[in-house]
Amino acid sequence: MSIVKEIYDVTKDLAGNKIALSKIRRALLTEVKLNDKFLWDVSVNEARPANPRLIQMISNLDVTEMKAAITCGLPFELISSKKVTTELLDGIDHIKVLGGDLETVLEKTYLKIAYLKKDYMSESLNLYVRMRNIYNYNRLLQRMLGK
């Protein structure tokens, strides 16, 4: 096989991988933006929705793309090489992820939503605080996936 053909094949594969990673990033970003719309009611500190509304919001949150990304072993650094910095956290309530990468933030966000979807009826949970925390992680994830 000629060197030109080999280079062409490698270039074609790399281009295909870049397109696939771009589609994955867009799918994750779309899911995060949709979740952001559902979390809007907890975005203002002064407005505290009642528990029935919080339960509705919890049931509307989607984690399908997050779960797929976590379980299939994606090279997250190729989707976004951003690390959590104080600049990325600007305007977000204090969360413990400084220095974390996309995989860390995505996994933490997924686990928080998945847990709350299963155990939202627990008497010991403060749903507003949990939803507010998810809102902040979701905002950070949106910033990391954005360009």
CA max distance for the chain: 69
The pLDDT, as a whole number, for residue 20 is 85
Average pLDDT over the chain reads: 89
Residue 15 has pLDDT above 70, yes or no: no
The pLDDT, as a whole number, for residue 8 is 62
67 contacts 123 by C-beta, under 8 angstroms: no
Measured CA angle at 57 (ends 70, 32), to 5 deg: 35
pLDDT tens digits along 58-99 = 999 999 999 999 998 888 998 999 999 999 999 998 888 999
The pTM of the full predicted model, rounded to 2 decimals, is: 0.86
28 contacts 65 by C-beta, under 8 angstroms: yes
- Would you give the DSSP letter of residue 138? H
Domain count, the chain: 1
The pLDDT, as a whole number, for residue 14 is 65
**Domain limits at 129?**
3-145
